[in-house]
Amino acid sequence: MDPALIALFVGAALASLFMAWVIGAGSSGATPYAPAVGANAISTMRAALLVGIFGFVGAVTQGGNVSEAIGSGLVGGISLPVAGVILVLVLGAGLMAIGITTGYPIATAFTVTGAVIGVGLSLGGSPVWPKYQQIAAVWVLTPFIGGGIAFTIASLLPRPDVPEQYSIPVLAGLVGAVLVNVQFSFLGVGSTAGTVRGVGQRVLAVNGLTSAAGITGVAALAVATVVWWDVSRDERGGLRRVLLALGSLVAFSAGGSQVGLAVGPLLPLLDEVGRVSTFVVLVGGGLGMLVGSWTGAPRMIKSLAQDYSSLGPRRSISALVPSFLIAQLAVLLGVPVSFNEIVVSAIIGSGAAVGGREAVDARKIGVTIGAWIGSFALSFALAYAMGLVFL
């Protein structure tokens, strides 16, 4: 094997690890537990510890779809060379590092997607318009759908005619129903991911829509019953445990989605170097995110928890439920999605439901939206220009 090729691949792998660290320290490491920290349900340092662990598990078990989309689904007709991969990762990580330093959540998905498309088009690749339309739809609709769901839930939870003894278990049951239908790589056969519901159907030797709905319903009822019992005997403690469980699920989903932004550009190179499996790359990316969460996330957690909205446990639960649902939809579709956008939109929606405009910082929100748009435009422009000059 060509030593120069090996050296370039090692350089690309190091750039990927740096990107994974930045993701763990920024969007993936900060957003999942930010509502829980804002509600004083968990300390900032403990949140950083847990988000690293759950993010790593999510990266290894759910990271394949988004990784493949980033690696080969954004530009047609070409495969990025090793130098192009390094350029993409350095640009994306550099912009993210600026966000971490300044305290403003620049969206990783926007920077990496813009950089991949920019480099690919500069090398003569063709646009993949159907994928772009899918990505754009998710990005544009996320604030409205996530914020709208959070606003609705937060509006209902404090009402006296909707007792929390029943409303919280219903929400937990909904999350449980989705969870048993989530795809995990280790539950599949061959290269196909599987679900807990699918395992149940195989064990019971049943098939079809009726059995799928039945297993899903039983799982939802079981989760709702446990939460109902817990909230009934200890309302304050039960709400806190539900909040932490939701934060863990969002952290898991963040790992499954965000690791693709770090390791996806490496996947087309694996055939050239050989003996490196996608699983090994996902493990490496997950470890990088874990270290980033433990060492760099507390600053961003504090920023999101305290600066965007004044949250209590009910409004935090309202923010995390849509965050989990949207994140899992993005993982299923293989769409790179910004966790900053998901969770910040949900935080704003839940805060506005109770406190109105006074509950959120309009200036901070405006700067954040500008950072999202600017990060994509800047990364695309820089990647395209540098691709034309250096590659």
Contact (CB, 8 A) for 60 and 279: yes
pLDDT band per the 50, 70, 90 thresholds, residue 307: low
Residue numbers of the domain that contains 45: 3-390
pLDDT tens digits for range 174-216: 999 999 999 888 887 555 568 999 999 999 999 899 999 999 9
Residue 192 has a pLDDT of 58
Total count of domains within the chain: 1
Share of the chain above pLDDT 70, in %: 90
Residue 37 has a pLDDT of 82
Model confidence at 309: pLDDT above 70: no
pLDDT band per the 50, 70, 90 thresholds, residue 149: very high
> Cα 20 to chain center, whole Å?
13
Give me the sign of the Cα torsion angle 10, 12, 14, 20: negative
Residue 191 has a pLDDT of 53
Contact (CB, 8 A) for 118 and 388: no
159 phi, psi to nearest 5 deg: -70, 140
pLDDT tens digits for range 63-101: 988 998 898 899 998 888 888 888 998 888 788 777 767
Which of 244, 255, 10 lies closest to 108 in space, CA to CA? 255
pTM for the whole thing? 0.89
Residue 359 has a pLDDT of 59
What average pLDDT does this structure show over 365-386?
87
Which positions ≥6 away from 77 have C-beta within 8 Å? 124, 125, 126
**Polymer length in residues for the chain:** 391
pLDDT tens digits for range 24-53: 887 667 778 877 787 778 888 898 899 999
Average pLDDT along the chain: 86
